[in-house]
Amino acid sequence: MTICHTTDTTFTNDLKSEGLTLVNFWATWCAPCRFFGTVLEAFDREHNSDVRILKVNVDEEANTAAQFGVMSIPTTILLKNGEPVEKIVGAIPVEELKKFIDGHKN
């Protein structure tokens, strides 16, 4: 799978109803968001069959950000079977992201 840039209109359809979906809320002006974007790309190259990754630009897609109560960026929410299970606020290295996701695979 590739990283999918989703919108308020397409979010529900882009969301993976079964399995794990990682939703990253970001903005172009946010330096930690840009750093974490490279982490997500590296993770996707190795684990693209395990987890669907959606990116939501909070400046353009405010409704989806509000729906999840996003107050700071980057915020990344892990959903399992379409339901939120855990949230990360801030940028983390790829190793921590792997541990974060591995804890929810079963």
30 is catalytic: yes
Compute the distance between CA of residue 42 and CA of residue 82 in angstroms, rounded to an integer. Answer: 24
4 is catalytic: no
The whole-number pLDDT of residue 58 equals 97
Q: Does residue 2 register a pLDDT over 70?
A: yes
pLDDT digits (tens, 9 = 90+) for 72-93: 999 999 999 999 999 999 999 9
pLDDT digits (tens, 9 = 90+) for 49-73: 778 999 999 999 999 999 999 999 9
Distance of CA 63 to the CA centre of its chain: 16
How confident is the prediction for the chain on average, in pLDDT? 92
Q: Name the nearest CA neighbour of 7 among 61, 69, 79, 77.
A: 61
pLDDT digits (tens, 9 = 90+) for 24-51: 999 999 999 999 999 999 999 887 677 8
The whole-number pLDDT of residue 1 equals 57
Catalogue the long-range contacts made by 98-106 (C-beta closer than 8 Å, 24 or more residues apart): 98/43, 98/47, 101/20, 101/22, 101/47, 101/50, 101/51, 104/20, 104/78, 104/80, 105/20, 105/50
The whole-number pLDDT of residue 76 equals 97
- The three-point CA angle 6-80-58 to 5° equals 30
The CA-atom distances, in angstroms, between 82 and each of 11, 14, 49, 59, 77 are 11, 11, 17, 23, 11
Of residues 33, 51, 58, 91, which has the active-site annotation? 33
The whole-number pLDDT of residue 16 equals 72
The whole-number pLDDT of residue 104 equals 81
Of residues 30, 40, 54, 70, which has the active-site annotation? 30
| Reported pTM | 0.93
